Amino acid sequence: MVNLTKPVSSRFVGAVLLTLLAILPAAGSALGASAEEIYAALAKMPKEKRQQVIVERAQKEGKLVVYGSSEEDQYKAIINGFNKHYPNIKVDYLRAVSSTIVAKAVMEVNAGRWLWDLSSAGSGYHDIKQAKAAARHYGLVAEDPYPKQFMGSDWFSFEVLPLVIAYNKSMVKPADVPKSYDDLLDPKWKGKVAIDANPDSIVTAMIKKWGKEKTAAWLDKFINANQALLRRGHTAQTQLLTVGEFPVASELYAYRVELMMEKGATIDWVVPTDVAEAELPGYVIAREAPNPHAALLFSQYRTSKEGQNIYGKFGRITVHPESDVKYARLREFTKKPLLDRLTLISVEDTKLWEDASELIDKYIVPRLKAK
């Protein structure tokens, strides 16, 4: 087998290199100014004139391609809202889970193909940076009163995704409801609390809030001494909590629990008092976006009060201070005092994921023993 494929793969590699040599210079010269250069120039213009230029050029571009991990129907509603203002700009949306969509976006860029304008960065921001794929936007995406903590130099977030402790109301008395991750170490919860087999998000937040050592100690007690129940996937956990396989799930998405409660499930949730984790799913505009003005205009719409209101109708926790959120309790996540208490995990925290991965390898993976 090896003898057969070796010549094929070496020929193939040669072909790839030759093609790259042919494609890359041509692609580079054809592109002209990058999105980042365009935004730098726009940032120097007076505000009104600038917005007029953005709209005019965006309409001339007439389209943009978005790679994302938001749900299809939700994105469609936002695109419809956008098209009411700009009917001539076609928005194509490609949806996949965050890691897949980032892999695709980065591979295309590494191959010298700029096929997307706006992409979810998720926890692949580090790779996007490495591929020099993100454009700095000079604050053009959103202005006051959009909260500063949801915006980086080359990324921005439309929402906040908090993880909460959820419980089955028919199995846990009000007085017994665990209020914190520390409470879950109580022996009365032994073998009764579920956690994802790969809880990277909450472990990252714990490391950010507590440091690595304390997080390791907590994981050791929770996973080993208190025999936490390992399950795969937040969706399955929400279902199993609802039917009562276990009374408590340690880290479910708050809006998902609210959606189930609206349908009549007898479950509820609390914000942990010690580590109130909230993820900020980040988006980036491509450095060499084929439609830089349309990408900017669409991003502005997504961060506007109107765009955020559309998203909020689906139960998502939008961050524009004047936007509406469907579930009143979730609104609290974007207001003081809860907002100040949140351990926000943004795309820039991706380095912490490596520490989290190490702790998961040490404390959770060995629980999956060979039997």
Partner 1 sequence: MSDTQQAIGVSRFPAIIFRPRWRGRPELLVVAALIAAVGWLVAVPLGMVIWGSLRDAAPGLPGELTFNNFVRAYHNVRLIQAIGNSLIFASGAAVISFLGGTFLAWVTERTDAPLRRLIYALVLVPVIVPGILFASSWLFLLNPTVGILNKFAAYCCGLETPIVNGYSMAGMIWAQGVDNFSLPFLLMAAAFRSMDPSLEEAAQVAGANVWSTMRTVTLPVLLPSVLATLLISFIRALESFEVPAVMGIPAGISVFATEVWLALSRRRPPDFNLSATFAMGYFLITIIGVYLYHRATKSSERYVTVTGKGYRPTRVKTGWWRWPITLFSLLILSVAILLPLLILLWTSLLPFYMVPSWQAVSLISLQNYRDVLALDSAYDAFINNLIVGCSAAAIGVMLSAAIAWVVIRTRLPGRRILDMLALSPIAIPGTVMGIALLWLYLTLPIPIYGTLWILLVGFLGKYMTFAVRSSYASLTQIHPELEEASTSCGAPWLKTFTRVTLPLMAPGLLIGFLFILSLSFRVLSLPVMISHVNTRMLPSFIFDLYDQGKYEVLSAMGVMIMLFLLVIAGVSRYVSGRFGVQETH
Binding to partner 1 in span 146-205, by CB under 8 A: 197-198, 200
Stretch that binds partner 1, among 47-55, 294-302, 328-336, 349-357 (CB under 8 A): 349-357
- For the chain, the residue count is 371
Q: Which is nearer to partner 1, 96 or 339 (CB)?
A: 96
> Which residue from 5, 52, 88, 170 is in contact with partner 1, where contact means CB under 8 A?
5
Window 63 to 82, contacts with partner 1 (CB under 8 A): 65, 71-73, 76
The token pair that represents 58 in the structure block = 């965006």
Q: What are phi and psi of 192, to 5 degrees?
A: -125, -5
In 3-state terms the chain splits into helix, strand, coil percentages (rounded to 5) of 55, 15, 30
> Which residue from 263, 328, 340, 351 is in contact with partner 1, where contact means CB under 8 A?
263
- Tell me the Ramachandran region of residue 42: left when phi exceeds 0, alpha when psi lies from -120 to 50, beta otherwise: alpha
Window 10 to 29, contacts with partner 1 (CB under 8 A): 12-13, 15-16, 19-20, 22-23
Binding residues with partner 1: total (CB under 8 A): 78
Residue 225 binds partner 1, judged by CB under 8 A:
no
> Which residue from 140, 260, 319, 330 is in contact with partner 1, where contact means CB under 8 A?
260
Residue 52 binds partner 1, judged by CB under 8 A:
no
Q: At 10, which amino acid appears?
A: S
Minimum distance between the CB of residue 295 and partner 1, rounded to whole angstroms? 14
d(CA 40, CA 283): 19
Window 300 to 329, contacts with partner 1 (CB under 8 A): none
Minimum distance between the CB of residue 302 and partner 1, rounded to whole angstroms? 18
Nearest by Cα to 278 from 212, 204, 194, 182: 204
Q: Is 207 exposed, middle or buried (0-12, 13-18, 19+ CB in 10 A)?
A: buried
Q: What are phi and psi of 337, to 5 degrees?
A: -85, -10
Q: Which is nearer to partner 1, 238 or 299 (CB)?
A: 238
Residue 4 binds partner 1, judged by CB under 8 A:
yes
Residue 224 binds partner 1, judged by CB under 8 A:
no
Q: Which residue has the tokens 């559309």?
A: 310
Minimum distance between the CB of residue 139 and partner 1, rounded to whole angstroms? 27
> Which residue from 264, 328, 337, 340 is in contact with partner 1, where contact means CB under 8 A?
264
Stretch that binds partner 1, among 45-53, 263-271, 301-309, 333-341 (CB under 8 A): 263-271
Q: Which is nearer to partner 1, 146 or 158 (CB)?
A: 158
Q: Which is nearer to partner 1, 102 or 280 (CB)?
A: 102
- DSSP assignment, residue 135? P
Q: Which residue has the tokens 């524009």?
A: 320
Minimum distance between the CB of residue 202 and partner 1, rounded to whole angstroms? 13
Residue 353 binds partner 1, judged by CB under 8 A:
yes
Minimum distance between the CB of residue 322 and partner 1, rounded to whole angstroms? 27
> Which residue from 30, 187, 213, 243 is in contact with partner 1, where contact means CB under 8 A?
243
Minimum distance between the CB of residue 138 and partner 1, rounded to whole angstroms? 27
Q: Which is nearer to partner 1, 72 or 143 (CB)?
A: 72
Q: Using CA of residue 259, residue 261, residue 262, residue 264, what is the dihedral sign?
A: positive
Residue 31 binds partner 1, judged by CB under 8 A:
no
d(CA 239, CA 186): 25
Window 85 to 124, contacts with partner 1 (CB under 8 A): 92-100, 102-104, 106-108, 110-111, 113, 115, 122-124
Residue 333: CB atoms within 10 Å: 23
d(CA 129, CA 135): 10
Residue 246: CB atoms within 10 Å: 20
How would you write 85-130 as a 3-class SS string?
A: HCCCCEEEEEECCHHHHHHHHHHHHHCCCCCCCEEECHHHHHHHHH
